[in-house]
Every structure is written in C-alpha cells, then in structure tokens.
Amino acid sequence: MDALSSVVSRLQMAQHVVIFTGAGVSAESAIPTFRDALTGLWSRYDPSLLASPEGFLSDPDLVWGWYEWRRRKSLLAAPNAAHRSIAALANCLPELTLITQNVDNLHERSGSSPVLRLHGSLHHPRCFNCATPYPLPEGIPDEPDGGRRLPPPRCGRCGGPVRPGVVWFGESLPEPIWKQAEQATDHCDLLFSIGTSSLVWPAAHLPFQAKQNGATVVQVNPNATTLDPVADYNLRGLAGEIMPSIFHSLQSSLAARSAP
C-alpha cells in the first residue's frame, strides 16, 4: 500500500483530526509564503523591522504599507484546491480542528469554520494603543503592485495609530486560541502539518506534541523540514494536489463502505 493510501486508511479510522497549516497552503493561490513576501521592494528590509511593535513605532508608514500590500494580495487571491479539500474533509470526519499560522482569510472563504488563527489576521486591524478594532473600508485597497509607504489610519476612539491584527515577533499568541489548539493537539489521533517550514515556535511545536501524545503525523510539503524525522508520513508535493487526492480517496472509501 503506498503512503497516500495508508494515510487515507488512517483517516477512515480517525476520531479527531487536526489540520495545521502554514503559508504553503496558500502558495498556489499566488500568496507569497512569509519568507517569499520579502521579495522585490521589501527584500531590503529585515522582517523583524516589518513585523514587530518596535518596527511599527519606528516607521509606521512602512509597516502599514507592507501589510496593506499583503492584505490586497489576500483579497485578490482565491482559495485553492487545498483550502477547498480541507473544508470538505470536515464534513466527512467525526471531528476536525483547523489550526492555521496564516493571516490571509482563504480558509474561511473556502468554507472552513471555525479556524483557530494562531497568528491573527490581516483583515482585523486594531488600535495600537487601546486595541479597539478598526473597521476596514469595504473593497480592495488600491495598492500599487509593489506596495508603498502608507500612513496608518487613526483610531476613532483614542486617535492612536491603527496596527495590523497579526502577531508580531516578540508578541505572545492569543492565549484562548493557543489553549484550544493545544487541547485539540493533545486529543487528536491524526495530525496533518501542511505547508509550513516548522521554524516558528511555539506554533511549530504542535505536530511534535501530537506525536508525543501518540497521534499519527502526516506532513504535506514539497520540501523537507525539521518535522521530517518525526512525521509518520512525509508526502512530498503540493498541498493543492495532495489534499484533493486524499479527500477524493476518502470519499470513495466511505461510499464503498456504505454501499449495500
């Protein structure tokens, strides 16, 4: 039995599946992965300058401009077959928990709900000072392709600068969401790690924690990562190809099992 068939047979028996995604699940939607996003105009900047409170305070226009450029790309992008297959899997499994490191909204737009967002969202900015949510204007920001410096809007409540609603370097993950993610990881019997370099902790710890708790770990990534030696299955390839194959194989197996 090949690896993909073994994974599908594990999936048929699973009671609680966790799907843990990174930027690679959105790569086929033409959203650059985090480290790719520092291409072109942004390549000369240090990520910690663009994705940290200190960086924002020292140059708010640069940071807000970069995130508006990323938000525009997220809004112009469409969910791909990986997002759609993950959403569809939830309807044919006893329990599925989706945990993402991504800050785009493609999982939600493909029908997944709820989505445990460990690193926040491009689409929910808030005031840097009083944390009041900032209502973004409708529509797609009219950003030149490479992005530009842009002064952040001001908070309607206190007048402070509005910041992106993502977790920055040096900031903690949202506690309630992290707790839910850890609980799901502790109780799952099968975890998929899809499209992540497994480099950024504590998020990257989740697949290792699942393995320690006896779950089967499946990695989907065209490249090797630090998770390789721990994963039970390393499916080398694109999420947009592997996840639909897994979903369709599972559907066929379930149909055959329920046939008279």
Interacting residues with ligand OAD (CB under 6 A):
22-24, 27-28, 33-35, 101, 103, 119, 166-167, 195-197, 199-200, 220-223, 225, 238-240
- Name residue, tokens 């949202």: 174
Question: Parallel, antiparallel, or unpaired for β 120-127 and 162-166?
Answer: antiparallel
Confirm whether 123 is a catalytic residue.
no
Stated as kind and residue range, the H or E segment containing 99 is: strand 96-100
Q: How many CA atoms lie within 13 A of 146 on its CB side?
A: 6
Based on CB atoms, which residue is closest to ligand OAD, 57 or 159?
57
Residue nearest to ligand OAD (CB): 24
Among 119, 124, 205, 248, the active-site one is 119
- In 138-189, beta strands by DSSP E: 162-166
Q: From the CB of 52, what's the least distance to ligand OAD, in Å?
A: 10
Q: From the CB of 102, what's the least distance to ligand OAD, in Å?
A: 6
Q: From the CB of 71, what's the least distance to ligand OAD, in Å?
A: 13
Based on CB atoms, which residue is closest to ligand OAD, 20 or 134?
20
d(CA 130, CA 161): 10
Q: What are the angstrom distances between the C-alpha of 133 and each of 35, 130, 234?
A: 27, 9, 40
Q: Which segments of 115-170 does DSSP mark as H helices, in order? A: none
Based on CB atoms, which residue is closest to ligand OAD, 28 or 108?
28
Q: From the CB of 103, what's the least distance to ligand OAD, in Å?
A: 5
Catalytically active residues, by annotation? 119
